[in-house]
Amino acid sequence: MGLNIEVHGLKLAYDAQPVLQDTNFNVDRGDLVALLGANGAGKSTLLRCISRILKPSAGHILLDGRELKLFDSKEAARKMAVVPQETAADFDFTVEDIVMMGRFPYLSRFQKEDQSDRDIVRRSMEMTGVAHLAERSITALSGGEKQRVIMARAVCQQPEALLLDEPTANLDIGYQSMFLELAARLNREQKVTVVAAIHDINLAVHHFNRFVLLAGGRVMAAGRAEEVITPENIRKSYGVPASTYRHPLNGALQVSVARGRVPDENNIQGKAVHVIGGGEESLPVLELLNQQGCKLSVGPVSTQDSGCRFAHFHSLPVVIVPPFTSMNGAHREEHLQLMRGSDLVVVPPIPFGEGNLPIFEEVEAVLEEGKPVYIIDLAGVEKRDYSGKALQLLDNLVQKGAVVLERSGDLTAVVRPDGGAGDERL
C-alpha cells in the first residue's frame, strides 16, 4: 500500500504568469507530507497537477515510476483520491449517495454496486463520523460535515495516496484537528501516502512528519520540520519575521510571527533600551519596544530563555548566563556595559529568585550614575517574588529615583521620539 510520487521540472502559468517553475520533489511511499508556503506559492496548483485537474506545460509526474499521463481516469482514481478545499453541493444527493461515488473507479459502465461496495461505504462513513447522516441531503449539512463527507468518499475510493488541498481552511479548530487526525490514521493504519497543502504551519507540524516549503513556484526546502521550518525560511517564503520554539506540552516545533516588519538596523530612530532579564513575561515588553523602533539589548538570560530566543532572532546584544548558575564577574561587567550604553533601563514584570537578585546591584549602580530606570508593575512583585527579597530591593531603587509604570503599554510614551526619558516619572 502507499504510492511513490515524483515531480520533475514541472512548469505551469496562468495568463503568462508563472505559478510553477521547474518544481521538483519526491514523496516516498507511505509518507505524510505537508506542502507549506505563502498564498500564491503554488501549493494548490501543484496538487491539481498531480491530481490531473490541471495540465502542466512542461515536466513529468510519476506514480510508482510510471508517467501519470499514461493512466486512464479510473486507474488514476484507484491510485489517488482528492479532497478539495471547497466542494459544490448543488444537487440533492444523500450523504450515502455522495460516499458511494467513491466506488465508481471500481465499477464497469453498467455495473451496479454490490454488498461489498455497500460495506465499504458504511465503513468509510463510520471512520469519518458521518454514518448518522447517511440519509441526510448533502445540501443540508454544515461546512465541517460536508468536508467529512467528502473525506468519506475519498476513503471509499481505497486509494494508495490521498491529496488534500487546504482541507481545513474553512473549519473550526475542532474539525481541523479531527480531519487531520483522520488523515494520519489512514497513513498509520493503511499506509496511505498523504500529501496536503496546509495553510497553518503550527497545525501542520502536529500531524505531519515531512514538509515541503514552496516559494515562487519552486521548492525552497524539503525534509523534517527542523530542516524546513526555520526563521530564515519563513522570512524568505512568507516575507515576515518569525521565531521558532518548542511547544511546552508536546515538544512540537512552533512558529511565532512578529507583528509588522523588523526595523532597518541602519535606520533606527528610537531610544536605546536595555531590558532586564527574560522569560515569557518579558516578551510583551520586548515586542512593544521593538515595534517602537527602539535599539534593544537584553539580559541576563539563559540559552533556553524566551528573551534569549527573541534576542537571537532580532540579532540583539544579549548577556547569556548558563542555566541554574549565578553571574560571574565577566557576566556582570558585560551587563553593566550594556546598561551604560543605553538611554534607559526597563525592569519587566518578571519572576525573581535568588539567582537573579545580583542584577539589582548593577541596576542600582547605573541608576546612581543618572541612568533612567523604569520598573513595570511594582504592585504585583510579591506574587512573582520567590526570594522574599525582591520587593525590598525594588523599593530601594524607587527611593533612589527609579520610575514605576503600572503596565507595559506606558512605555510607549517614554520611548517616543518627542518624549524625554525622564519626562514620564510617576
pTM of the model: 0.66
Q: Does one domain contain both 210 and 315? A: no
- pLDDT tens sequence for the chain (426 residues): 789 999 999 999 887 788 999 999 999 999 999 999 998 899 999 999 999 999 999 999 999 999 999 999 999 999 999 998 776 666 789 999 999 999 999 998 888 889 999 999 999 999 999 999 999 999 888 888 888 899 999 999 999 999 999 888 777 887 788 889 999 999 999 999 999 999 899 999 999 999 999 998 999 999 999 999 998 899 889 888 887 877 766 778 888 876 544 444 444 457 899 999 877 788 888 888 887 889 999 989 888 788 888 888 778 999 998 876 667 888 889 999 999 999 999 999 988 887 778 888 889 999 999 999 999 999 888 888 888 888 999 999 999 999 999 888 888 888 875 544 444 333
Residue 123: which residues within 8 A CB-CB, separation 6 or more?
none
pLDDT of 64 reads 95
Q: Does one domain contain both 234 and 296? A: no
Q: Does one domain contain both 184 and 239? A: yes
Instruction: For Cα atoms 73, 79, 83, give the angle at the middle one, nearest 5 degrees.
Output: 85
Q: Does one domain contain both 348 and 368? A: yes
Question: Positive or negative, the Cα torsion across 71, 73, 77, 78?
Answer: negative
**Residue-number span of the structural domain to which 392 is assigned:** 265-415
Alpha helices in 89-210, H assignment, sequence order? 95-100, 115-128, 143-156, 173-190, 201-207
For 4, 88, 101, 125, 131, the CA distances from 79, given in Å and listed in that order, are: 10, 23, 15, 20, 25
- Would residue 421 count as lying in a domain? no
pLDDT of 315 reads 82
Q: Rounded to an integer, what distance in angstroms lies between the CA atom of residue 370 and that of residue 402?
A: 10
Length of the chain: 426
Q: Does one domain contain both 205 and 56? A: yes
- DSSP-assigned letters across all residues of 25-73: EEE-TT-EEEEE-STTSSHHHHHHHHTTSS--SEEEEEETTEEGGGS-H
Does residue 195 contact residue 187 with C-beta atoms inside 8 Å?
no
Question: Positive or negative, the Cα torsion across 123, 128, 132, 137?
Answer: negative
Q: Does one domain contain both 217 and 311? A: no
pLDDT of 324 reads 62
| Domain closes at, from 257, 276, 293 | 257
- Would residue 330 count as lying in a domain? yes
Q: Does one domain contain both 246 and 373? A: no
Q: What is the CATH number of the domain that holds 248?
A: 3.40.50.300
Exposure string of 20-47, with b = 16+ CB inside 10 Å and e = fewer, is: beebebebeebbbbbbbbbeebbbbbbb
- Would residue 140 count as lying in a domain? yes
Q: Rounded to an integer, what distance in angstroms lies between the CA atom of residue 186 and that of residue 161?
A: 10
How many domains does the chain contain in total?
A: 2
Give residue 180's Cα distance to chain centre: 15
Task: Compute the radius of gyration of the chain from its Cα atoms.
Answer: 28
Give residue 422's Cα distance to chain centre: 40
For 93, 275, 403, 415, the CA distances from 425, given in Å and listed in that order, are: 70, 18, 5, 13
- In the sheet where 5-14 sits, what is the strand order? 17-27, 5-14, 58-63, 66-67
User: Which grid cell sits at 198?
Assistant: 496546509
pLDDT of 196 reads 96
| Domain closes at, from 238, 257, 276 | 257
Cell 461515488, residue located = 101
- Would residue 426 count as lying in a domain? no
pLDDT of 425 reads 33
Residue 167: which residues within 8 A CB-CB, separation 6 or more?
83, 84, 85, 147, 151, 179, 196
Asked if omega into 372 is within 30° of 0 (cis), the reply is no
Q: What is the CATH number of the domain that holds 396?
A: 3.40.50.450
Cell 494548490, residue located = 44
